[in-house]
Amino acid sequence: MRCDPDKLVIALSGTIATGAKVLTQEGTSPEFETGVYTPDPNAPALPPAAITGATDLVHQGTAWVAEARYNFAIFKPWAWGTETKVKNISNQWVHLAVPYASVLDGTALKLKRAEFCAKSTNGAQTKPTRIDLWANATKIGQWTVTWPADNAYHCAYVDFSTPTWYEGVGISVWLQYANVADKITLYKTWVRLVP
C-alpha cells in the first residue's frame, strides 16, 4: 500500500466518563468575553511600570509530584487539582515547584508568603501535617500544619515577617493517611512576592 503524505487522514474518536465532583468558586460568576485576534508584531512595547506592591503567583494543583508514586493507589490530576489515595496506611511526601519571579522588570522580588490548599475526605485523621519550603537544595524551613478536623477545603500558609529573596521556591507537603479508604485532594499553591 502506498501512502501519499498529502492525503493522509487520521480519525480519532472516544469518550471519557468522569465521576469528579464539580467545584464552584465562592462569590458570583464574573462577566467574560472570548475571542481571537491577530497580534501586531510591529506594535510598540508598553513602557515598564515601577513595581510598588505585592505580586501573587498561583499554580493550579495539577502538577503535584509524589516522591514515592508506587505507594499511591490513586494519584490522578484533574483540571483543578490532584486526587490521592494510598495503597497501604502510610505517610507520603508530595512536592511542587512554586511559580516564582525572582526578578521582575529589574526589581528583585522577595518571598512574603507561601501556601497550598487541600481537602481531605477524613480531615480528622487523614491530612497534611507538615510544609517544607526549599530554595534550590537549601531548606528555607519546615513548619507543622494544624489541619482542621473536618472535610472542608483549607489552605495552609507560611507568612514571613521579613521577606527574603530566593532564586526559586519549591514546596513539600507531608501527607498522613490513617487508612486506605481516605483521599486527599491537593489544590493550588501560591506565593506573594514584594519588592
What pLDDT score was predicted for residue 92?
98
- Vertex 45 angle, CA 53 and 109, to 5°: 25
State if pTM tops 0.85.
Answer: no
Q: Please write down the HEC assignment for all residues of 82-106.
A: EEEEECCCCEEEEEEECCCCCEECC
Strands 138-144 and 107-108: unpaired
pLDDT at 175 over 50: yes
Looking at residues 152-176, what average pLDDT do you find? 95
Q: Which domains does the chain have, with CATH numbers?
A: 55-194 (2.60.120.260)
- The confidence score (pLDDT) of residue 71 equals 96
What pLDDT does 10 receive? 42
Note the pLDDT of residue 22. 43
Q: What is the mean pLDDT of the chain?
A: 85
Lowest mean pLDDT among 41-50, 71-80, 86-95: 41-50
pLDDT at res. 99: 83
